[in-house]
Chain A
Amino acid sequence: MGYTAVKGGAEAIAAAERLLLELPTEAGELRVELRQVRHQLKASVDKVMAEGGVYAPDLAALAIVQTEGDLMEAAFMLRAYRSTLPRLGYSLPVADREMRVIRRISSAFRDVPGGQVLGRTRDYTQRLFDFTGTAAGSAALNAATPEAAAASLTSDGSDAVPWYLPKVSDAMRAMGVMDQLPKPSDDAEPFDITREALRFPASRPAWLQALARGESGALLALSYSSIRGFGGIANHGTIAELRAGDLPLQVVHPLTGLPVTIGSFRATAVEMTGNEKTKDAAGAKGDRYGLSYGIVFGQEERKAIAMALLDSTLQAQAPVEGEPPPAADQEMVLYHSDGVESLGFVEHLKLPHFVTFGSGLQATLERSAVASGAALREEEPHSHGPGDEPHTHGADGAKQPSHGAVPTAG
């Protein structure tokens, strides 16, 4: 008694994969090198690392080449890779004032301690095509380093910029308009969304983690809805500080117990601030400046700002009546901003659904059959060989009232 081997499905996907093996290159065309992707498509690498939740530029570059530039698929590859690695531990917390800065601006003030350092940015360029192809090689690479930033002019005219710049929010705290930072928690281990499912209402560490890995477009759309005032939040905040640069990665040495720096990673941090009305215990009214935060791997400034906006809307009190606006609704933001989850479920519609679809179709056919009293249109069963799709009616065309053989245990 034989069970038919898989028929058709395995061959089909093997054939589909063989098509993938043939890279869409012409004869003699060079394959893209990982370092070309890392250096010349840096923004893509940054997005893939941030959404993949793994700081691994070479793997991100390989994923980008392998997926032919599908950045969400590439992030998906990094996420999957995470799941085969054991969790070794957690780094020590790092304050972004320890950042070796390559770029730092503040929108809240014209000048700030340490100055406005534009750094290497497209913000003030005209988006025109460069057809000359003469962009410099190694010089351009150096511009994205702290050394190069140190050589650039600052807003107060001095030539040299120290790598470490004072924080704008520290100045605001010194002014007395912003609350002091809370003491760091005693918890050695933070809530980790990659190890536990999110529960609602979610804590701030949980939603910040989710936003840090969130898909840029989703976060952009939701934060945009907020600053446009969709749903009632009209007063968008102001960027107290945006800083990009290298942060140290510190862990506790397993033998000495002392902090040790094991490397550094590029990150972009945004602090947003806005006026909030307060009432103290005695009922006296006042106001203060709140703080919201966004931080991402690499230099995706757009996402860091979006993240800070959403941190702000998620911190806001929900309205007394009615549904909160989408950007202030935890479940709306956190359930729908993960790229890997959203691409998976939306694209799963390509999977066969004929059993579930058929269940509904049978119900529809039942109703019309019951309503009209007509028999369901049907094809006469007839004799045929195993595996054949029947084409013609057999001589013994009368329907067999068979009950189907029950297969014996093989």
Chain B
Amino acid sequence: MTTDVREAAGTVAGLAETFSYNYAFLDELSKKAIRRAILKGVAIPGYQVPFGSRELPIARGWGTGGLQITLSLVGPGDVVKVIDQGADDGVNAVNIRRLVERTSPGVETTADTSAATIIQTRHRIPEEPLRKDQVLVFQVPQPEPLRSVERREAETRRMHGEADYSRMWVALYEDIVQNGRVTRTAGYPVVVNGRYIMAPSPIPKWDIPRLNMAPHLSLFGAGREKRIYAVPPLTSVTPLEFEDYPFQVEQFYGQTCLRCGSDTTYLVANPTETGTLRYVCSDTAWCDAALATKGEEVRA
């Protein structure tokens, strides 16, 4: 130290002398504890593992669960992609990516889905199918799929433990009776490996079928609620449905993306003043690539 301790005490310069962050921000024991929780989640697909969730320099509710998973997994050589609502340039995705870059030398970041080893996402699955060497990390606001039918954590844990899911099924049945169909939209409850009902995070219904038997590992982090859970590769994930009222994804009625023309991707609608809707792909990296390909085809 170049400054006298007593003189430096109480000054900003004095604080700066002794200050440092660990690699990937979290201390090593914290990362180890989080990885152990992840392993337990992988061993019990769909089961919510309580973990000692740490606070991060990003606010609770803004992705600390996903980020704790990502920070516990990254090392030099990893390539990290971060998206929010499908977009790499969403401001919170940018901020999360910056924190990873800043605290983890040797880790690259990218918008290219196929180049990433770890993809952290808020509420979308990238359109490009993932490979078995890639890990998809979901940010989860409410890990408990039964919360809408039971407010108490102590009781929902019992329900999961005993596979006592009758109240959830009754709630869906009542939805049909009252509305003619199940009206739940994003974050549709699913059954994992035939055992646990799981909250897939508020992804659109569109993405639900893409969790089923996927070749990649899916990890789910709820930082504020302090739960981690997982869907291992090649695991069954099925939405709760009735034989006569099957699960249906969002319909776009022939709309295509105004930028790239896609009709096979999840679209988001932007309103105009006159009340018309302009549809574009939610997955911006996919849309950019599709546009570039089309551009080449047109030019060729």
Q: Interface residues, chain A, CB within 8 Å of chain B?
A: 1-10, 12-13, 34-35, 38, 58-59, 62, 76-77, 79-80, 82-87, 192, 194-201, 331, 335, 340-341, 343-348, 351-356, 358-363, 366, 369, 375-379, 381, 384, 386-387, 390, 399-410
Contacts and interface: CB of A to CB of B under 8 A. Distances in A.
A196 B22 contact: no
Among all A-B residue pairs, the 7 with the closest Cβ atoms: A404-B262, A344-B60, A407-B289, A348-B61, A9-B89, A345-B61, A197-B50
Contact of A386 (B27, B30, B295): B295
A355 B289 contact: no
Contacts of A404: 256-257, 260-265, 290
B45 interface: no
Interface stretch (B170-178, B209-217, B231-239, B273-281): B273-281
B26 A83 contact: yes
Contacts of B254: 399
A3 B111 contact: yes
A87 B293 CA distance: 52
Nearest to B55: A79
B186 A360 contact: yes
Contacts of B259: 384, 386-387
Interface of B: 9-12, 14-15, 21-22, 25-30, 33, 50-57, 59-62, 64, 84-95, 110-112, 114-115, 122-124, 128, 141, 151-154, 183, 185-187, 202-206, 224, 226-227, 250-266, 268-269, 272, 275-279, 282, 284-286, 288-297
B52 A408 contact: no
A44 to B, nearest CB: 16
A405 B257 CA distance: 11
Contact of B124 (A58, A355, A360): A355
A86 B20 CA distance: 12
- Determine the main DSSP class of B at the interface with A: loop
Contact of A410 (B86, B112, B266): B112
B89 A6 contact: yes
A34 B12 contact: yes
Contacts of B295: 386
Given A6-B111, A9-B90, A386 B292 contact: yes
A164 to B, nearest CB: 28
B112 A351 contact: no
A35 B14 CA distance: 12
B59 A347 contact: yes
A352 B84 contact: yes
Contacts of B285: 3-4
Contacts of B52: 192, 194-197
Contact of A407 (B53, B187, B286): B286
Given A348-B141, A356-B187, A407-B128, A1 B12 contact: no
B289 A84 contact: no
A249 B201 CA distance: 44
Nearest to B86: A355
B292 A345 contact: no
9 contacts: A5-B111, A6-B111, A86-B28, A343-B59, A351-B84, A378-B255, A386-B288, A407-B286, A407-B289
Nearest to A14: B94
Given A34-B11, A402-B261, A379 B289 contact: no
Given A194-B54, A331-B153, A407-B292, 12 more contacts: A1-B292, A7-B284, A62-B15, A84-B21, A192-B52, A344-B62, A345-B141, A352-B84, A355-B86, A386-B288, A402-B262, A407-B293
Contacts of A410: 112, 114-115, 289
A356 B202 contact: yes
A310 to B, nearest CB: 18
A410 B112 CA distance: 8
A198 B290 contact: no
Nearest to A193: B52
Given A4-B288, A83-B54, A376 B255 contact: yes
Q: Which among B29, B61, B87 has the greatest number of chain A C-beta atoms within 10 A?
A: B61
Contact of A9 (B91, B123, B297): B91
B204 A351 contact: no
Nearest to A13: B91
A8 B9 CA distance: 42
Contacts of A409: 114
Contacts of A8: 89
A298 to B, nearest CB: 17
